[in-house]
Amino acid sequence: MENPRKTRIYSIYKGMKDRCRYKTNDNYERYGGRGIRVCEEWLADYMNFYNWAINNGYKEGLTLDRIDPNKNYEPDNCRWATYKEQANNTRRNNYITYNNKTHTLTEWSEILGIKRSTLSNRIVTKKWDIKKALTTPLMVNQFG
């Protein structure tokens, strides 16, 4: 049997614990420093985390993501996500609600087929209201 400490899943487990517990960790301020903890069940035994991970969609290439980025690492608040999904679930995202649908700027860009930079320019630089920014068609170059 492979040494668990040499597996990707163990590395994820160790990283989670370290950034929540050790002030010397480069990411401590964004995790442990603002009160994010690892639940006792996972802290007490790696196999508890391992079994949760395997039973909840762990696959190579996925990352451990906290559903609510302001809450702890615990079974009810964690999932396995792609890097893209995780990037859309950070505290620094600004969420935009239009027609009772809430998405990040990047998600709206994908939904509408408008470059993220165009939407950002409309909202941040030009100070357009959300409806205008999301519904104004792109200018078409009439001169080919």
Q: What are the pLDDT digits (tens) for 92-136?
A: 667 778 899 888 777 788 888 888 788 888 888 899 988 998 888
pLDDT at residue 1 greater than cutoff 90: no
Contact 75, 86 (CB under 8 A): no
Q: How confident is the model at residue 11 (pLDDT cuts 50, 70, 90)?
A: very high
Same domain (yes/no): 81, 20: yes
Q: How confident is the model at residue 2 (pLDDT cuts 50, 70, 90)?
A: low
Nearest residue to 60 (alpha-carbon basis) of 42, 83, 41: 83
User: Pairing mode, if any, of strands 63-66 and 95-98?
Assistant: unpaired
- The CA-atom distances, in angstroms, between 24 and each of 20, 21, 27, 63, 140 are 10, 9, 9, 23, 53
Same domain (yes/no): 71, 122: no
pLDDT at residue 87 greater than cutoff 80: no
38 in any annotated domain:
yes
Q: What is the pLDDT of residue 53?
A: 97
Overall average pLDDT of the 135-142 stretch = 73
- Of all residues in the chain, the percent with pLDDT exceeding 90 is 50
User: Which residue carries 């040499």 as its tokens?
Assistant: 6
Same domain (yes/no): 32, 70: yes
Global pTM value: 0.64
Same domain (yes/no): 44, 82: yes
141 in any annotated domain:
no
User: Which residue carries 């969420």 as its tokens?
Assistant: 95
Is 69 or 28 the better-scoring residue by pLDDT?
28
DSSP state of 95: E
Residue 54 in tokens? 């395997």
Same domain (yes/no): 12, 82: yes
46 in any annotated domain:
yes
Same domain (yes/no): 125, 64: no
